[in-house]
Amino acid sequence: MAPSDDRGTQPGGQNRSGGRLSGKRVLILGAGSVGEGIGNGRAMAVLFAREGAQVACVDLHLAAAEETTALIAKEGGQAFALSGDVTQESEIARIVEATLSAFGGIDILVNNVGGSVPGGPEELTPEAWHRQFHHNLHYVHLSTRAVLPLMKKQGGGAIVNLSSIAAMRNIGNDLMAYAASKAGVTALSKMIAVRYAPHGIRCNVVVPGLMHTPLVEARLAGQRSGGDIAAIVAKRNAQPPMGRMGDAWDVAYAALYLASDEAKYVTGVEIVVDGGLTLKTP
């Protein structure tokens, strides 16, 4: 079953023309969801639209992106769906061009694509290692490289990248390449933040911990608990000091702050959204 969601499509969360992102043009890479429900990318897209933004929703699978835009349209927001493999430079160029054609500019870029393959130094093949970096880090360079000139010309912009607490602590999973590539996302973000601050471009990182998104039921249960959903949910809920996983909306609200003008003097920072898990992990 999909995780519960008491904020996902409720009438109280409808689009606001005077919201925190009113007039902003947003490109979200990874705006669909793995399985039914609300994943991090979908939550960010819906929330940003509620706050007045126009949102380009990109996912590898068009149907997933269209599900997100349907939720936004239902609430009166503005969005369109695109499919594309963001690890390919030509695809990034096409996506950016389509967004410019629709919105006339890009004020906010969100890099939310990623995935994990288990394995340590001996078990992980060089091919799998390179695939992880291609999937989790390489595309961040491609998308940022494509958008930075536009933001410079506009006089500013905001980039929000998604990392993971796996890049900060060993959280009990043998995810060497995932951890290393996500650490690369954080390092790259800080370099961008310093170099492009004079151009009014901010770059920040949201660092999720254990979140209860559809990914848990759709993929992780099969990978890590033999398909036993109840077991993996119980295990993950027991780890954070708060006694439960977070959800996609926790990630989305952190991203909203970093993307908004409320964070106009904030760049190169990491907002850790993990219920205190990293604080108790050696």
**Residues known to be catalytic:** 178
The C-alpha angle 259, 208, 110, rounded to 5 degrees, equals 30
Q: What is the spatial distance between Cα 217 and Cα 90, in angstroms, rounded to a whole number?
A: 33
**Distance from CA of residue 70 to its chain's centroid?**
19
The C-alpha angle 234, 240, 244, rounded to 5 degrees, equals 50
Among the residues of 166-272, which ranges form H helices? 176-196, 214-215, 221-224, 229-238, 248-259
Which tokens hold the place of 156?
A: 């500013």
Among 186, 169, 168, 167, which residue's Cα sits nearest to residue 177?
Answer: 167
The C-alpha angle 89, 219, 213, rounded to 5 degrees, equals 85
Q: What is the spatial distance between Cα 182 and Cα 184, in angstroms, rounded to a whole number?
A: 5
Bridge partners of residue 41, in order along the sequence: none
Q: What is the spatial distance between Cα 244 and Cα 167, in angstroms, rounded to a whole number?
A: 21
Distances (CA, A) of 144 to 89, 136, 192: 11, 13, 9
Q: What is the spatial distance between Cα 13 and Cα 74, in angstroms, rounded to a whole number?
A: 11
Please report which helix (H) or strand (E) contains residue 109, including its range.
strand 108-111
